[in-house]
Structure 1
Amino acid sequence: MRRRTSLFLTLLAFALFATIAAWRAQQPVLLTPQLVTDRVVIPAPLLVALHGGDRFLTANLETMRLSATGMDDRGVDTGYLVRTQREVARLNACHEDNYYLANGLLTWGGAVDEGNEVLRAAVECRFWDEFPPFFYGINLSFFQRNNEEAARVLEIGAARSTQNGAAMLKLAVMLRAEQFADERLALNYLTQQRDSSADPKLKDMLDKRVIRLQGLIDLRAAQRKYQAEHGPLLDLQLLVDRAIVAELPTDPLRLGYELRDGHVELKKLKIAGLEEQP
């Protein structure tokens, strides 16, 4: 009797299990995407040990891995890239792909300090390469408003360059000139740099900036004279109409001048989405 009862209960339990399993198998499966966080990044010393002691091979493999896994259809996993690229920089600060990725995905993706950290290591390691100083200098000026340090780094890049040295020196000079609160002091600085340059290409580039800045100074002087006689200046053409100046100065860069908040300013090349950066 006990055996029959046990067998009956066993068969009942199995039938119940089979029924539930069959019902569950017919239910629709809802997959909810889950954002992967806190991905594991192996420290550089352990990576070297896992790859037989070759840190250069390890850096190559890690860079390939992070370039393949650091970005998907949901976007860039910035935290993972920051941690991984730091380890790659520890393995081989000279790694070219690593500093390119750091500049494009980290610095210009919002992790400015972390991307610049990788670039700074590349500047020191790749003593022959002009591009890490160029990227780092631009980032220092654009994101961190550190024009003096940016100019110093760009000068390092200019010294390494065989073709772009004049352009980078020009950028360095212009960044330093922007730090002068008085436009006449800035003009004196630019003129001095132009006249002392032995590079014809750089001299020509700076000459255009000198002419442009001189035009700004002349327009501001004309604005002061106009406003003393006629009140607020609403249009630059009024300076010509009122015979304050014979004609508006020609900008050799073909950008020109404009009234902005009641002041004559240099027009700047505007790139959508970037000129509003804080």
Structure 2
Amino acid sequence: MSSRLAITIGLGVACLGGYIAYGLHWSPRAEQERDEGTLRVALPVPVQLVMTGGDRYLAANLNVFRAIMVTTKNPDPETVAVQAQLQQQASWFNPAHEDNYYLAAATLAWQGEAQAAQIVLHNATGGRPADMYPPFFYGFNQQYFFGDYAGAATSIRTAAERVEGNNKLALQAMAARWAENMDNPKQALNILHAMASQTAHAGLRGYLQSRAARVEGLLALRAAAESYRKRKGQPIHSLNDLVPSELAELPADPTNLGYAVNLQGVPILVTRRPAQTQP
């Protein structure tokens, strides 16, 4: 918890009492909230500003404080929805609020409110221009929850621009891996080539070039598979169907992960090595 939040919690106790009395105490749902550690009410933004004397930073802290104080280990959907609303409001009051974006990344995204978490993280990315973590968490959510590898690669590259040394190289390598999983391999290839040309680190440049070569191999396989389909009137069942009718040999993958064929007969990238069996 940041020091600013800790300090303002004490200053905001009286205001929080008025906040609850005005917006919550009259409602049986408010009693349930206080008794069960749930969240049931999120007041409109103008009301919150009035209750905090126009101090948007205090309003943000109070919202985050309420979200942190949820004690249920498995919150019900209504609690999570109100928490998401509170944290989005806090993000509007103070986009740079550190506790808010950490809490959103750690809880909301995993409780069915990934879109709300992205709003908080997007605002924090702009509000904290030197902090790598908001764009990092935002990019992770893009690929994990939404399958947006292109956007994820861009976000991770933003995170990489905010750090130096090995952390920068690791993030750039992650962006490259996600870029190669984009739905459009040609676009992925362009991104990988651009990243390779922009880095001054020889090791990273070689890594990016190997990833680009892997995507080039995929493009060659897909072109050959499409030619096979048109000629035979049916999709391929394995990569071996392409040799020697379409290709003299299968392209080598510099990463040694290899290629495969999906159920539709389209070549795809293998993203992980098979687990080794114990002897």
TM-score w.r.t. length of structure 1 = 0.63
Give, as a single letter, the amino acid of the residue that structure 2 aligns with 1:126.
Answer: R
Which among 96, 114, 117 is matched to residue 115 of structure 1? 117
Q: Secondary structure at the match of 1:81?
A: helix
State how 1:77-156 maps to structure 2 within 5 Å.
77-143=79-145, 150-156=152-158
- 1:171 Cα shift? 5.1
Name the residue aligned to 1:234: 237
CA change 1:46–1:249 in 2 (3 A) is same
TM-score w.r.t. length of structure 2 = 0.62
* C-alpha distance in 2 between matches for 1:232 and 1:146: 27
CA change 1:55–1:169 in 2 (3 A) is same
2:101–2:124: 8 Å Cα contact kept in structure 1?
Answer: yes
1:78-126 Cα shifts (integer Å, max 9, x gaps): 1220222134324433222211221232233222332222112211221
CA change 1:208–1:262 in 2 (3 A) is same
Runs (5+) with no aligned partner, structure 2: 1-31, 274-279
Which among 204, 208, 222 is matched to residue 206 of structure 2? 204
* C-alpha distance in 1 between matches for 2:252 and 2:99: 43
State how 1:204-223 maps to structure 2 within 5 Å.
204-220=206-222, 222-223=224-225
Name the residue aligned to 1:48: 52
Task: Give the paired residue count.
Answer: 232
Q: Is residue 267 from structure 1 mapped to residue 270 from structure 2 by the alignment?
A: yes
* C-alpha distance in 2 between matches for 1:184 and 1:62: 45
* C-alpha distance in 2 between matches for 1:100 and 1:139: 13
Runs (5+) with no aligned partner, structure 1: 1-33, 271-278
